[in-house]
Structure 1
Amino acid sequence: MSGAISRFIYADDSGYLDKGWIVFGWLELSASDWDRVLAHWLAFRKELVADYSVPVVQEIHTTHVVYGRSKDSISTNPPERIRAGNREWKAALGREVLVRCLQAIRDCPDIEVGVAYFRTNKRGREISEDRELAYTRLVAMWDQQLRHQDDYGIVGMDGDGTDPIYYKAHRALDDLFNRRVIEDPMFHSSQRSQWTQMADVIAWSGFTHLWKHDSNEFAWNWYDDYLRPKNPMSDPIDLSTLP
């Protein structure tokens, strides 16, 4: 056993804490496929430049894009067919772009995706306890899977590293001679990381599949149509059922 890192997991959170929804989404790939996956994604981002004038460096943040909340458009020159007579054209543009993102994820042969969730009755400050519990169970599941595969992996996440629950979850794993998720999570700025942007799209689409709110009806089937074929477990995982 070499002990070399062989798996990368890129994760992001989603959900609606006011309603007790805690959701995580992620993509997983072999370290040896990292270059091919990134090349696939960057080629797709160049397609967005050609078709929608969305720059490769433009952050695709799902909750901003899907509702057209950004002050400025993600496109430097939005297609006239979307803008013409459409007061909500930013949202329409964003939804088309997000579907294209999901298609690119679906069509990438070298990745797997996953979604996990936790429902809680806690609210306010108390919900942070269940967020920590949920992520601790998720990390333990990843660790068990890596041990079963005789692999080692590292987790990358969106954020600035100021939330202590992620460090605690990683350090709650078995002793150093047994754990397979190594190190604390690596934190990346979603403005600069294509990986965390992919994880964000997965997490939000998984949450919308789980909580079918009327305002998101346009995306209710996104998980089934694009992500379920990439998920080895098919359905999102209920973290409340894990030890």
Structure 2
Amino acid sequence: MIYADDSGHPASGLVLYGWIEFSPDHWAPVLKSWLDLRKRLWRDYGIPVTQELHATQFVNGRGRISQRIPPRFIHRGVEYWKDFGREVAVQCLETLRSTEGLTVGAVWRRRSPAELAQTKSEAYSALIRRFEDELAEADSLALVFMDGDGSDSSYRKSHRSLKLAQRRVIEDAIHLDSRSSQLIQMADLVAWCANSSVDRHPGNHFASEWYSTFLAERDPCRSPREI
């Protein structure tokens, strides 16, 4: 079972996909590990279990994810949401690193910004072919779950361009709303960290090593790969 999300930097033509992956018999333990984290985040940080954790929002302090931000993040009446969000992100990454049976991965491609839609489609097709090769080698099948509403037809085309008799990814990508899927939110954090590792700049310098620090040991390739 593969849960994936996209990221990147459109202005530079960068497209990136990050994912979490586990066998079906690990679905319950993986989800339980994350839900246990969510309960701790409610207890320690006032973040409801139902609150979406969207990395772009909370890591950079844009999202007000807590109903009672801890006093140590309040100085002279000012709430330091960036510091708060980054501490929460580290808690989430520690959970990903320690979840038994979980693997993660990320791939990227960069072309001209004017060709962004084509680059995204090509990168996804290359990723699906990579999954197909890995599944064929392991004699396994998989389902791919993606964030979104499925309105982008390029995802469907990537799957249906493969020969049916040889396909290892069952069905087209199944699209889920990240607001209600804890597993897609996990994939979102992987994709965000991978993007910070590949597209380094002063604004995300604090997270440029998060992938290597927390996620590399869960990634068979040890780092995001150009595809």
Q: Is the 8 A contact 1:23 1:117 kept in 2?
A: yes
Work out the CA distance in 2 between the residues paired with 1:62 and 1:12: 11
**Unpaired runs of at least 5, structure 2:** none
Give the aligned partner of residue 55 of structure 1.
Answer: 48
Work out the CA distance in 2 between the residues paired with 1:96 and 1:171: 42
Give the aligned partner of residue 183 of structure 2.
Answer: 195
Q: Aligned in 2, Cα 1:88/1:135: closer, same or farther, shift over 3 Å?
A: farther
Work out the CA distance in 2 between the residues paired with 1:168 and 1:69: 35
**Counterpart of 1:89 in structure 2: which amino acid?**
Y
Match of 2:31 among 32, 38, 44: 38
Q: How much identity, in percent, do the aligned residues show?
A: 40
Give the aligned partner of residue 96 of structure 2.
Answer: 105
Q: Is the 8 A contact 1:25 1:200 kept in 2?
A: yes
Work out the CA distance in 2 between the residues paired with 1:115 and 1:87: 36
Written as runs of structure 1 = structure 2, the 5 A alignment for 1:182-221 is 182-221=170-209
Match of 1:117 among 108, 125, 130: 108
Q: Does 1:169 align with 2:158?
A: yes
By how many angstroms is 1:88 displaced? 5.8
**Counterpart of 1:200 in structure 2: which amino acid?**
D
Work out the CA distance in 1 between the residues paired with 2:81 and 2:223: 31
By how many angstroms is 1:170 displaced? 1.0
Q: CA RMSD in A?
A: 1.1
By how many angstroms is 1:85 displaced? 3.4
By how many angstroms is 1:132 displaced? 0.5
Q: Aligned in 2, Cα 1:89/1:127: closer, same or farther, shift over 3 Å?
A: same
Q: Is the 8 A contact 1:68 1:88 kept in 2?
A: no
Written as runs of structure 1 = structure 2, the 5 A alignment for 1:69-88 is 69-70=62-63, 73-85=64-76, 87=78
By how many angstroms is 1:188 displaced? 0.7
Give the aligned partner of residue 168 of structure 2.
Answer: 180
Work out the CA distance in 2 between the residues paired with 1:94 and 1:191: 18
Q: Is the 8 A contact 1:136 1:172 kept in 2?
A: no
Q: Does 1:238 align with 2:226?
A: yes
Work out the CA distance in 2 between the residues paired with 1:83 and 1:96: 14
Q: Is the 8 A contact 2:212 2:223 kept in 1?
A: no
Q: Is the 8 A contact 2:212 2:222 kept in 1?
A: no
Give the aligned partner of residue 5 of structure 1.
Answer: none
The normalised TM-score by structure 1 is: 0.91
Q: Is the 8 A contact 2:60 2:82 kept in 1?
A: yes
Secondary structure at 1:218's aligned position in 2? helix
Work out the CA distance in 1 between the residues paired with 2:96 and 2:201: 24
Q: Is the 8 A contact 1:167 1:185 kept in 2?
A: yes
Q: Point out 4+ residue stretches in structure 1 off by more than 2 angstroms.
A: 84-88
Q: Aligned in 2, Cα 1:122/1:216: closer, same or farther, shift over 3 Å?
A: closer
Secondary structure at 2:76's aligned position in 1? coil
Match of 1:11 among 4, 11, 14: 4
Cα deviation digits, residues 141-163 of structure 1 (max 9, x gap)? 00110111000001001101111
Cα deviation digits, residues 49-85 of structure 1 (max 9, x gap)? 1110111111000111112223xx2011100001223
Match of 1:135 among 118, 124, 127: 124
Q: Aligned in 2, Cα 1:207/1:88: closer, same or farther, shift over 3 Å?
A: farther
Q: Aligned in 2, Cα 1:86/1:178: closer, same or farther, shift over 3 Å?
A: farther
Work out the CA distance in 1 between the residues paired with 2:77 and 2:100: 36
Cα deviation digits, residues 146-195 of structure 1 (max 9, x gap)? 1110000010011011111111111122x222110110111111110001
